[in-house]
Chain A
Amino acid sequence: MWSVFQAIKRSWTEHFVTQFSAFLILFLTYTAVLFISLSLQNIQKVFHQWGSVSQMTVYLKPQTGLTQKKEIIQALTGHKIVKSVTEVSSLESAEKFNRRFEKLSRKKIDSNKMSHLFPEYLEVSLNEQQAYGSAGVLNDFSAQFRDRFPPISSISYGESWLSSYSQLLTAINITGWLLIAIFMMGSMIVSASVVKSILFHRKDEIEVLEFIGADESFIYRPQLVNLISLGFFSFAFALLMNYSLFISFKKLSLSVLGFNWSEGLLFIAPSTVIFVFLISLSLLFIETLLTLFRMMPKYKKSFGLFQKGSA
Chain B
Amino acid sequence: MVQLSHVYKTYRDNNHILKNLKLDILKSEFVYLMGPSGAGKTTLFRIMTGFEKATSGQVIVNDFNLDKINNKEISQFRRTIGVVFQDFKLLYDRTVFENVALPLQILGFHQWDICEKVEKIVASVGLAQQINENPIHLSGGEKQRVAIARALVHEPKLIIADEPTGNLDWKMSEEIMELFRTANKKGTTVIIATHDHNLVEKSNQKRVIKIDNGQIYESGEEQPCGQYFKPLKEAGLSIL
Contact B91 A205 (CB under 8 A): yes
Within 8 A of A (CB), among B22-71: 46, 49, 51-55, 71
- Contact status of A212 and B93, CB under 8 A, knowing A304-B52, A306-B52, A310-B12: no
Least CB separation from A310: chain B residue: B12
Which residues of A, 213-237, contact B by the 8 Å Cβ criterion? 213-216, 218
Q: A2-B111, A211-B78, A311-B11 are in contact. Are A10 and B102 (CB under 8 A)?
A: no
A208 within 8 A of B: yes
A213 partner, pick from B53, B71, B75, B94, beta carbons under 8 A: B75
Tell me if B83 counts as interface (CB < 8 A to partner A).
yes
B106-A214 in contact (CB<8A):
yes
A3: interface (CB < 8 Å)? yes
* Nearest-Cβ distance from residue A254 to partner chain B, whole angstroms: 54
Partner of B106, one of A212, A307, A308: A212
Task: Give B73-88 as 1s and 0s: 1 = Cβ < 8 Å from A's Cβ atoms.
Answer: 0111111100101000
Is B214 an interface residue when CB atoms closer than 8 A count as contact?
no
B77: chain A residues at CB < 8 Å are: 213
Contacts of B98 in A (CB 8 A): 6
Would B93 and A306 count as touching, CB distance under 8 A?
no
Residues 42-57 of A contacting B (Cβ, < 8 Å):
none
In the complex, whether B171 has a CB less than 8 A from a CB of chain A is no
* Residues A215 and B55 in contact, CB atoms below 8 Å apart: no
Residues of B within 8 A of A307 (CB): 52-53
Decide: A213 near B76, CB < 8 A? Known: A10-B93, A205-B91. Answer: yes
**CA–CA, A2 and B79, complex, Å:** 20
Known: A14-B93, A212-B103, A212-B150. A311 touches B12 (CB 8 A): yes
A92 within 8 A of B: no
Contacts of A216 in B (CB 8 A): 71, 75
CA gap between A3 and B104 in the complex, in Å: 10
Cβ contact within 8 Å between B78 and A212: yes
Assembled-state Cα–Cα distance A209/B10 (Å): 27
Mask: chain A, 225-256; 1 = CB below 8 Å from B; 0 = not: 00000000000000000000000000000000
Q: Mark A101-114, 1 if CB is under 8 A from B, else 0.
A: 00000000000000
Which of A10, A207, A305, A308 meets B55, CB within 8 Å?
Answer: A308
Bound form: Cα–Cα A6–B91 in Å: 14
Q: A213-B76, A215-B75, A308-B55 are in contact. Are A207 and B89 (CB under 8 A)?
A: yes
Give the B-binding residues of A (Cβ under 8 A): 2-3, 6, 10, 14, 204-205, 207-216, 218, 303-311
Name B residues whose Cβ lies closer than 8 Å to a Cβ of A.
9-13, 46, 49, 51-55, 71-72, 74-80, 83, 85, 89-91, 93-94, 98, 102-103, 105-107, 111, 150
Can you list 30 residue pairs at the A/B interface with Cβ under 8 Å? A2-B105, A6-B98, A14-B93, A204-B91, A208-B89, A208-B91, A211-B49, A211-B51, A212-B106, A212-B150, A213-B79, A213-B80, A213-B103, A213-B106, A214-B102, A215-B76, A216-B71, A216-B75, A218-B106, A303-B51, A304-B51, A306-B52, A308-B52, A308-B53, A309-B9, A309-B10, A309-B53, A310-B11, A311-B12, A311-B13
